């Protein structure tokens, strides 16, 4: 086989045409490495070597583009590269990235945690789980996760308390307890502050009573309606005393 034509493509890529009608694209680094502007004759072995090296460069350059837009873990990069390249090329690409300093695990972990801390409500356990899923061990993660989450927790609780116009004090705390645990916070981290919050049930309870009366007044009458609604409210965490007091006020 002999190269009969070079055609410049985008950026650092050239399209080469062979005398057998075959055409393929190579990076200019490959052309220089194999001196193809001078040595234009290719046997099958050399052709395979050239295309394999070109694929390796392609994987490396593709990965650099991805890393320029966003830091990624080794596991993420392997998954992305597996859609296009062989496992051998992926292994070589990862090794080159490590050698060139593009896959520093500590920098990735620190950046991931800082972003999660600044831009999300995620707690330490959820952050750790996400990093575990990305291929990092607890031993690697722990030194970077020694952060104070107390202000973040207080902000979440205060914001939820301020916007609450539906739940009783009991229900609010129960729901927020589950919400914070799902966000990745240990109960010991928020229990004291959550218990110190007090929701004024009066306005919420009055609205709830009116809503229930309107909904069930055609189904229950007089004392039956009263008993039914009160039981509903007890189930929602309102105390007997406050239900009795406000029920009589609404009526």
Does 93 fall in a domain?
no
Report the number of distinct structural domains present in the chain.
Answer: 3
- Which residues form the domain of 113? 105-144
Q: Is residue 133, in this structure, part of any structural domain at all?
A: yes
- DSSP for 119-158? H----HHHHHHHHHHTT--HHHHGGG-----HHHHHHHHH
- Asked if residue 163 belongs to a domain, the reply is yes
CATH number, domain containing residue 112: 1.10.10
Q: Give domain status of residue 192, yes or no.
A: yes
Which SS3 state, helix, strand or coil, does residue 5 take?
strand
The answer to the question of residue 96 being in a domain is no
> Are residues 137 and 110 both part of a single domain?
yes
pLDDT, tens digit (0-9, with 9 covering 90-100), for 106-127: 989 999 999 999 999 999 999 9
Res. 59: pLDDT tops 80: yes
Kindly report the pTM of this predicted structure.
0.68
Please write the tens of the pLDDT for every residue from 166-177: 777 788 888 899
């Amino acid at each position: 086989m002999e190269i009969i034509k070079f055609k410049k493509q985008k950026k650092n890529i050239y399209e080469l045409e062979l005398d057998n009608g075959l055409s393929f694209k190579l990076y200019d680094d490959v052309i220089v490495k194999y001196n193809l502007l001078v040595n234009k004759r290719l046997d099958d072995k050399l052709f395979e070597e050239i295309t394999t090296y070109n694929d390796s460069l392609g994987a490396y350059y593709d990965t650099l583009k991805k890393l320029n837009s966003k830091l990624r873990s080794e596991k993420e990069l392997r998954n992305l590269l597996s859609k296009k390249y062989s496992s051998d090329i992926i292994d070589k690409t990862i090794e080159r990235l490590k050698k060139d300093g593009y896959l520093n695990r500590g920098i990735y972990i620190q950046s991931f945690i800082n972003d999660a801390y600044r831009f999300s409500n995620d707690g330490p356990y959820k952050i750790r789980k996400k990093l575990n899923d990305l291929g990092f061990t607890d031993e690697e993660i722990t030194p970077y996760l020694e952060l104070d989450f107390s202000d973040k927790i207080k902000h979440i609780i205060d914001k939820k308390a301020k916007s609450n116009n539906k739940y009783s004090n009991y229900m609010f705390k129960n729901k927020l307890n589950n919400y914070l645990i799902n966000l990745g916070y240990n109960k010991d981290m928020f229990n004291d502050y959550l218990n110190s919050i007090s929701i004024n049930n009066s306005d919420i309870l009055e609205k709830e009573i009116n809503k229930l009366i309107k909904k069930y007044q055609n189904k229950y009458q007089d004392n039956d309606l009263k008993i039914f609604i009160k039981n509903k409210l007890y189930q929602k965490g309102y105390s007997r005393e406050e239900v009795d007091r406000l029920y009589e006020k609404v009526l």
